[in-house]
């Protein structure tokens, strides 16, 4: 298991809802991430955000972990 996989599993385990996104929930860096964060914020959902732009290993790691090629991922 890679460090990225371990970090992703830890994050998912410690939080009920996690959004892996480009940017942060207060400063999304792409339209799709902005839309998802906007919906969650509007619904007042408590969620953790993970900025995949800050770490290339996490950016690729979440794609491998979920077997889904795009971001954002909830």
Q: What is the DSSP string of the chain?
A: --HHHHHHHHHHHH-S-EEEESEETTEESSHHHHHHHHHHHHTT---EEEEGGG-HHHHHHHHHHHT--SS-B-
pLDDT category of residue 2 using cuts at 50, 70 and 90: confident
Tell me the domains of the chain and their CATH numbers: 3-66 (3.40.30.10)
pTM of the entire structure?
Answer: 0.93
Q: How many CB atoms lie within 10 A of CB 62?
A: 24
pLDDT score recorded for residue 1? 65
Distance between CA atoms of residues 52 and 71, nearest Å: 9
pLDDT per residue as tens digits for the range 10-52: 999 999 999 999 999 999 999 999 999 999 999 999 999 999 9
């Amino acid at each position: 298991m890679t460090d990225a996989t371990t970090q992703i599993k830890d994050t998912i385990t410690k939080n009920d809802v996690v959004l892996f996104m480009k940017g942060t929930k207060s400063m999304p860096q792409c339209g799709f991430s902005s839309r998802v964060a906007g919906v969650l914020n509007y619904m007042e959902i408590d969620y953790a955000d993970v900025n995949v732009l800050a770490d290339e290993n996490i950016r690729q790691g979440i794609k491998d972990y979920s077997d889904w090629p795009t971001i954002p991922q909830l």
